[in-house]
């Protein structure tokens, strides 16, 4: 009864959601074209047949046998693509121009943060992102594990979630900071060092982490950036996590932090701002993708007063543009990861717009948010492409995003696991 009441609330809420039970009838989606997540050119005139939670067929209209009881959804002028993936989000944060990170960690009750996060999850899904890897609760403990469960049990609408729980930092290297040395304040991640790292990794895995997130370096306003964990410490975490079936993602902003993380065997690098050609070549050689978080960098500059179009581009963004180009030239795989939470949830398309603005072709950026992201997240056999047998995580947008990436702003349909959450006219 309780569940039923909540489901009705979702149905009648502000979101145009249709979080009903899975439609028993097959669904035929008829867009103008399909971007399959892999091929650069979209397929004109393709249709996609969904049965239950999976894609049953995809191909030219004449080649797909349509069951007599299929429900047909016409999507004229629209492009159908795999549900988008963001590999770096924070559902439990909200934009820093609303409240500073320190205030969110130290002053906001956990229940408040979780309430906000439910809204965030819905906005993310309805904006076309059907899978996210949430890279740290930033002081909100293990709340991501519960959010994931609430989404899986259809208590709230939201994307598929991969979670990391608290994330791991070296003692004394994170925040909030700036207090008298005698004062201990609640930290935004779990501190550990040396042999203790083994226990902390196991503890986070035991509490529900799908990935382990570590901070390979730290930023101090007076000292600048510096690496934290040794290669041996990072290796210990990677080895412990891997034996429990968990990959490791590393926040790395300094060249040395990047180098150590890659050598230790982490599977994705987050941010990568201080990288150079040599370390990007090392990433490419080891097959370690980069989540560049361009949208977070842009948002931070705006919060500091930058007015795009009026003021010259700030040095931090100029430098990011240059290092991102170096990473591309070095052959690093880029995976869409925005650091959403630093900026508004539901604005995830901004990262793809910036990937294109910083030098990728629209189809490359779309691949970074579909098939490439799915592969990096070990989900390639479930999502990230329009292919028979995969889960029916599908999004339709008005226009053709392979020509104009801004088309991602015009979302017409969102389906996750065969369930429609948004459709034309609803
Ligand atoms: Zn982040």
Count CA atoms closer than 13 A to 390's CA, side-chain side. 24
Report whether pLDDT(414) > 50: yes
Residues near ion ligand 1 (Cβ under 5 Å):
339
Report whether pLDDT(263) > 60: yes
C-alpha 337 – ligand 1 centre gap (Å):
9
**Strand 224-227 vs strand 217-220: parallel, antiparallel, or unpaired?**
antiparallel
Q: In 99-185, which ranges are E strands? A: 129-134, 160-163, 168-169
Say how many Å lie between the first and final Cα of the chain, rounded: 26
Residues 6+ apart with CB under 8 A from 352: 84, 336, 365, 366, 368, 369, 405, 408
Report the alpha-carbon distance of residue 289 to residue 270 in Å, rounded: 9
Average pLDDT over residues 239-249: 98
Q: How far is CA 415 from the centre of its chain?
A: 17
3-state secondary structure of 128: coil
3-state secondary structure of 48: strand
Report whether pLDDT(185) > 60: yes
**Strand 71-82 vs strand 27-34: parallel, antiparallel, or unpaired?**
parallel
Report the alpha-carbon distance of residue 371 to residue 337 in Å, rounded: 13
C-alpha 399 – ligand 1 centre gap (Å):
31
pTM: 0.94
Report whether pLDDT(9) > 90: no
C-alpha 295 – ligand 1 centre gap (Å):
11
Cis peptide bond N-terminal to 213, omega within 30? no
Place of tokens 């065997």: 265
Report whether pLDDT(29) > 60: yes
Average pLDDT over residues 150-165: 98
DSSP of 162-179, one letter per residue? EE-TT-EE-TTSSSS--S
C-alpha 93 – ligand 1 centre gap (Å):
10
* Bridge partners (DSSP) listed for residue 391: 54
Report whether pLDDT(11) > 80: no
3-state secondary structure of 239: helix
Average pLDDT over residues 333-355: 98
Q: What is the DSSP letter of 391?
A: B
pLDDT band at 15; cut points 50, 70, 90: very low
Q: How far is CA 177 from the centre of its chain?
A: 27
pLDDT band at 19; cut points 50, 70, 90: very low
C-alpha 270 – ligand 1 centre gap (Å):
8
The model's pLDDT over 73-91, given as tens digits with 9 standing for 90+, comes to: 999 999 999 999 999 999 9
C-alpha 40 – ligand 1 centre gap (Å):
29
Burial pattern 117-134, b for ≥16 Cβ within 10 A else e, equals: bbbbbbbbbbbbbbbbbb
C-alpha 82 – ligand 1 centre gap (Å):
24
28: region left, alpha or beta (phi > 0 left; psi from -120 to 50 alpha):
beta
3-state secondary structure of 259: helix
The model's pLDDT over 380-406, given as tens digits with 9 standing for 90+, comes to: 999 999 999 999 999 999 999 999 999
C-alpha 347 – ligand 1 centre gap (Å):
15
């Amino acid at each position: 009864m309780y569940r039923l009441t909540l489901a009705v609330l979702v149905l009648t809420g502000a979101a145009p959601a249709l979080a009903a039970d899975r439609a028993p009838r097959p669904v035929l989606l008829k867009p103008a074209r399909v971007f399959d997540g892999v091929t650069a050119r979209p397929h004109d005139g393709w249709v996609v047949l969904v049965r239950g939670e999976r894609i049953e067929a995809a191909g030219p209209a004449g080649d797909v046998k349509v069951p007599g009881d299929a429900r047909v959804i016409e999507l004229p002028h629209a492009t159908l693509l795999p549900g988008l993936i963001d590999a770096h989000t924070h559902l439990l944060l909200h934009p820093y121009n609303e409240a500073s990170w320190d205030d969110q960690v130290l002053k906001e009750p956990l229940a408040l943060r979780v309430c906000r996060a439910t809204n965030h999850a819905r906005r993310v899904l309805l904006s076309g992102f059907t899978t996210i890897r949430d890279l740290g609760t930033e002081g909100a403990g293990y709340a991501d594990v519960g959010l994931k469960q609430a989404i899986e049990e259809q208590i709230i609408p939201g994307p598929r979630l991969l979670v990391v729980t608290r994330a791991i930092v070296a003692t004394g290297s994170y925040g909030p900071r700036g207090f008298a040395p005698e004062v201990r304040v609640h930290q935004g991640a779990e501190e550990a060092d040396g042999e203790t790292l083994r226990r902390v990794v196991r503890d986070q895995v035991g509490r529900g982490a799908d990935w382990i997130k570590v901070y390979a370096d730290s930023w101090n306003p007076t000292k600048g950036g510096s690496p934290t964990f040794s290669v041996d410490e990072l290796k210990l975490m990677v080895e412990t996590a891997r034996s429990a079936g968990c990959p490791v993602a590393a926040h790395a902003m300094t060249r040395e932090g990047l180098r150590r993380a890659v050598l230790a065997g982490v599977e994705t690098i987050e941010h990568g701002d201080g990288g150079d050609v040599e370390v990007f070549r090392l990433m490419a050689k080891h097959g370690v993708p980069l989540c560049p978080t361009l949208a977070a960098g842009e948002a931070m500059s705006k919060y500091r007063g930058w007015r795009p179009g009026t003021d010259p581009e700030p040095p931090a963004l100029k430098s990011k543009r240059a290092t991102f180009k170096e990473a591309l030239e070095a052959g690093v795989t880029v995976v869409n990861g925005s650091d959403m939470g630093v900026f508004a949830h539901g604005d995830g398309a901004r990262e793809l717009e910036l990937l294109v603005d910083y030098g990728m072709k629209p189809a490359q950026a779309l691949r970074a948010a579909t098939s490439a992201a799915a592969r990096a997240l070990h989900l390639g056999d479930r999502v990230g492409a329009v292919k028979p047998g995969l889960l029916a995580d599908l999004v339709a947008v008005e226009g053709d995003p392979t020509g104009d990436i801004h088309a991602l702003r015009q979302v017409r349909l969102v389906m996750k696991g065969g369930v429609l959450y948004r459709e034309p006219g609803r």
